Amino acid sequence: MQVSVESTSALERRMTVGVPVERIETEVNKRLQQTARRAKVPGFRPGKVPMSVIRQRYEDAARQEALGDLIQATFYEAVVEQKLNPAGAPAVEPKSFEKGKDLEYVATFEVFPEFQVTGLDTIAIERLQAEVADSDVDNMLDILRKQNTRFEAVERAAENGDQLNIDFVGKIDGEAFAGGSAKGTQLVLGSGRMIPGFEDALVGVKAGEERVINPTFPEDYQNLDLAGKTAEFTVTVNSVSAPQLPELNDEFFALFGIKDGGLEGFRVEVRKNMERELRQAIKSKIKNQVMDGLLAANPVEVPKALIGNEVNRLRVQAVQQFGGNIKPDQLPAELFEEQAKRRVVLGLIVAEVVKQFELKPDEARVRELIEEMASAYQEPEQVVAWYYKNDQQMNEVRSVVLEEQVVDTVLQKANVTDKAVSYEDAVKPAEAPKAD
């Protein structure tokens, strides 16, 4: 077998492969002999058909099959021989495909980039330091109570924070418009759910009252037919209800699965969850900084095939998430290319860090991570046992741990500064980078 390789770009390879005619004929004859054993030809018993008849009837098909298999087999042999690492399926172009002659074809494909991860000492990391204070637990209890607010009917005038049950009819220039009317709508005053001015104009109403209000749609309103126009809404108030926060009692604690320990036991559980959230938030922010740093320090050209594959995965995920009667390939590739490229580049860089530093999943950390995830459930022992019986789940956890070890490896060499912050600042989502 003759092989020559030409580099047509940084990652693209054009490989010419020549296969001797003797190997082709051997493969063709092998298939014809297999066919002869099972072929049913009128006038002959199975297995007794003369080879000349077999060849006349089946040689073309046998040759096509042999050539297809030989291209696949010799391509694999050639890339191994040339120590190439294809990043996708090749585009194959036959150069010589004539019977009785050597087979020659050209395979064009991309290879994985070869590089060393560098610049770890140039990466700057800000590592947040925070604790869950008693006041943070108090704030969380208030949040949990507000999330479980109940509304009870009152006779007084409505205030911000009250819930109204209303019917309304909206008109512009005396004409009703689509979406401008409703019955039995529940509206919390001050929630900002309605257009500016709508809720403010209802402060002070009482149950049974009808009020005409004239709010103006914002200039940037999504419905351009309504944007910037002043409407007239006739609002009928069916009821006014005031918010009632639940008491911190056993009934409230039971909503969260806490049946024993009273208020102190509930605070302990809330603190545990907050501390878990804090650890995860800090870990996530450090990881994001590490990954951004690795990308900035290691510009890597990536194969188009890998980006295309990742774009297709993101398309499928988008369809699964948002549903609708749409096929993944109907979504424009441009929507996903930037995210796909980032994922592919990071995947290659992380894999290279694992290789360079000879990292393997730390099984003690694997166990620790599983136990931490299981601690959020009522019967953590059963969750841990389930993980260890499920190979796929275990492999996913090992991948997470290995990625954490990559982050730790970078942190050992990066410029790390610690910054003390409050719990709220630590768990607050990182701001998206501003556009230039």
Instruction: Collapse the DSSP code of 23 into the 3-class scheme (helix H, G, I; strand E, B; otherwise coil) and give the result.
Output: helix
Mean pLDDT across the stretch 418-427? 96
pLDDT at 360: 96
Same domain, 290 and 341: yes
Same domain, 220 and 168: yes
Mean pLDDT across the stretch 140-149? 94
Same domain, 366 and 329: yes
Higher pLDDT among residues 324 and 153, named by residue: 153
Same domain, 34 and 78: yes
**Phi and psi of 28, rounded to 5°?**
-65, -45
Q: Is the pLDDT of residue 436 over 80?
A: no
**Running DSSP on this structure, what letter comes out for residue 155?**
S
Mean pLDDT across the stretch 330-355? 94
**Residue 264 is part of which domain span?**
254-427
pLDDT at 166: 97
Confidence of residue 266 (pLDDT cuts 50, 70, 90): very high
CATH number, domain of 359, equals 1.10.3120.10
Instruction: Quote the percentage of the chain above a pLDDT of 90.
Output: 80
Q: Is the pLDDT of residue 48 over 90?
A: no
Check the CA dihedral 258-259-263-269 and report its sign.
negative
Average pLDDT of the chain? 92
> Model-level pTM?
0.75
pLDDT at 76: 95
Same domain, 203 and 312: no
Tokens 């000492």 belong to residue:
121
Tens-digit pLDDT profile for residues 67-84: 999 999 999 999 999 999
Q: Is the pLDDT of residue 2 over 70?
A: yes
CATH number, domain of 51, equals 3.30.70.1050
HEC string of 233-300 equals: EEEEEEEEEEEECCCCCHHHHHCCCCCCCHHHHHHHHHHHHHHHHHHHHHHHHHHHHHHHHHHHHCCC
Assess if residue 249 is contained within a domain. no
Confidence of residue 432 (pLDDT cuts 50, 70, 90): low
Assess if residue 226 is contained within a domain. yes
Assess if residue 125 is contained within a domain. no
Tens-digit pLDDT profile for residues 88-130: 899 999 887 788 889 999 999 999 999 999 999 999 999 999 9
Same domain, 224 and 270: no
Domain boundary among 213, 244, 275: 244
Tens-digit pLDDT profile for residues 359-399: 999 999 999 999 988 987 878 999 999 999 999 999 999 99
Closest CA to 18 of 60, 110, 81: 81
